[in-house]
Amino acid sequence: MYDVVVIGAGIIGTFITRELSKFDLKTIIIDKENDIANGTTKANSAIVHAGYDAKVGTLKGKLNAKGNAMYAHVCEELDVHFKKIGSFVIATNEEEMDSIKDLYERGCKNNIPDMKILSQEEVREMEPNLSEEIIGALYAPTAGIVSPWELSVALAENAADNGAEIKLETEVLGIEKNEKGYVIHTNNGDIKTKYIFNCAGVYTQEINEMVAPRSFTIHPRRGQYNVLDKGTGSIVNHVIFQAPTKFGKGTLVTPTVHGNLLIGPDAEDLEDKENTSTTSDRIAFIQEKSRKTTTKVPFNKTITSFAGLRAVSNLGDFIIEESKEAKGFINVAGIESPGLSAAPAIAEYAINILEGIIGELNKRKEFNPRRKPVIRFMELTDEEKAEVIKKDPRYGRIICRCENITEGEIVDAIHRNAGGRTVDGIKRRSRPGMGRCQGGFCGPRVMEILARELKMDIKDIVKDNKEAYILTEETKQNKPEEVTA
């Protein structure tokens, strides 16, 4: 019998699980996918918002500002890339200037520190590549950028290092209430638990309705992006948003923590909770929109596009509460943007709800907040590189030439707690395949390493989800002597 089951291993579920691992609790996190962060957490803008945008008094408003302030510390503990580069909301006319002044006022009420309205000259000085049409901007220096999937994986790893269990490819099919708690029926057997956190992203509505009548709805709103090659990120120094207008929120242009440039997203309401396909018309739309910010985006350096699904609730705010009909069942639903930014604060808030139910939790003295540091070969000095290769020659073998990723880094990403088991899982952990060729050259090598290290048949190594197989059978079935001239 578990004390707590966390359903959903996105940024919210992994943050909560890591928080739970600080206490004397038997905890498990489960997910239907074959990797951590395979839902919305792998496909978003990766911005840690400052927090001026959310309506005053909402959970979004309170938890965004708080979460933002917690980011630097948790990313330092877990050795995850996070850069506090600040954000601009640009204005190109007086109406937009009014809109950014409103945002400034709202930011003050949300207690966002150090914001400033910049003049045209100040904008030009800080961001020389932006459009000449810009007449001012709201500057929020506390905004940042992060790698959401790296963080989610690191949280899961640290939680597992501290005793939490992880069970992937485990889809919740039904939940039964009984006098001791719950029995969760999955495709991977039944799981008994006293308490449940429902962190299933776009599926939180369905999971909630397994134990209680409908109290909220969630529908998916898709957003699409372009990613440009490494190096292009230096076109801008900050996250650049457009001022919200009656036509929408506009498109953002931002560097990523790894030096790429990200353009997007649009917003499109859908029915299908699995539809993360990209479409040429929407990509053309975001490209055109980005020209209002800058005309200097080199779209010929686009290396890929992707789409993510916002979990939009009918209630308009985060839903973080114990179900009224199911004691000990806590919904963490409707976590659309700024969910990533608020995630550390959401986890604390959720644990407070659990403490409200079962009383003060016992802290584990042996909790270790740090995970084993990650060797990122290209970030080392020449002396450090030589030292690392001396200890383990696999760090001297480059597998991904676009991103300069070594075999040592890939092997390490496989063997950690919550390690990668798929080609994209390795790509998200140590970046082979993230570059210009998108795995065209290194993909087969990564598959060989995965098969060797996990002692699996190479045909069973998939790209991402379990249907995304790469190899089926040998193309040359005939033995040489059977081949006729």
Ligand X SMILES: Cc1cc2nc3c(=O)[nH]c(=O)nc-3n(C[C@H](O)[C@H](O)[C@H](O)COP(=O)(O)OP(=O)(O)OC[C@H]3O[C@@H](n4cnc5c(N)ncnc54)[C@H](O)[C@@H]3O)c2cc1C
Q: Which residues are catalytic?
A: 49
CB of 370 to ligand X, least distance (A): 23
Question: Nearer Cβ to ligand X, position 63 or 410?
Answer: 63
405-406-408 Cα angle (round to 5): 135
Question: Nearer Cβ to ligand X, position 40 or 162?
Answer: 40
Point out the residue whose Cβ comes nearest to ligand X. Answer: 339
CB of 13 to ligand X, least distance (A): 5
Q: How far is CA 354 from CA 17, 115, 329, 473, in A?
A: 12, 35, 9, 50
Question: Nearer Cβ to ligand X, position 223 or 433?
Answer: 223
Q: In whole angstroms, give the CA distance from residue 261 to residue 268.
A: 22
Q: In whole angstroms, give the CA distance from residue 252 to residue 227.
A: 12
CB of 264 to ligand X, least distance (A): 7
Question: Nearer Cβ to ligand X, position 39 or 136?
Answer: 39
Q: In whole angstroms, give the CA distance from residue 264 to residue 275.
A: 17
Q: Token pair of 298, please? A: 């080199």
Q: Token pair of 438, please? A: 């998108």
Asked whether the beta carbons of 348 and 19 are under 8 A apart, the reply is: yes
Q: In whole angstroms, give the CA distance from residue 440 to residue 109.
A: 50
Question: Nearer Cβ to ligand X, position 124 or 258?
Answer: 258
Q: In whole angstroms, give the CA distance from residue 220 to residue 428.
A: 24
44-48-51 Cα angle (round to 5): 115
Question: Nearer Cβ to ligand X, position 127 or 336?
Answer: 336
CB of 43 to ligand X, least distance (A): 6
DSSP state of 66: H
Q: Token pair of 376, please? A: 């990122």
Q: Concatenated DSSP letters for 386-437?
A: HHHHHH-GGGGSEEETTTTEEHHHHHHHHHSTT---SHHHHHHHH-TT-STT
Asked whether the beta carbons of 240 and 143 are under 8 A apart, the reply is: no
Q: Token pair of 329, please? A: 């069942």
DSSP state of 372: P
CB of 483 to ligand X, least distance (A): 46
CB of 248 to ligand X, least distance (A): 13
CB of 35 to ligand X, least distance (A): 8
Question: Nearer Cβ to ligand X, position 418 or 449?
Answer: 418
Question: Nearer Cβ to ligand X, position 209 or 453?
Answer: 209
Q: In whole angstroms, give the CA distance from residue 304 to residue 437.
A: 10
Q: Concatenated DSSP letters for 205-242?
A: HHHHTTTS-----EEEEEEEEEEE-TTGGGG-SSEEEE
Q: Quote the distance between the C-alpha of residue 117 and its chain's center.
A: 30
| Amino acid, res. 294 | T
CB of 194 to ligand X, least distance (A): 19
Question: Nearer Cβ to ligand X, position 238 or 310?
Answer: 310
Q: Provide the binding-site residues for ligand X, judged by CB under 6 A.
A: 7-13, 30-33, 38-41, 44-47, 49, 171-172, 199-201, 203, 223, 265, 308-310, 335-341
CB of 220 to ligand X, least distance (A): 8
Rg of the Cα trace of the chain?
Answer: 23
Cβ contacts of 81 within 8 Å, gap of 6 or more: 75, 146, 147, 150, 257, 258
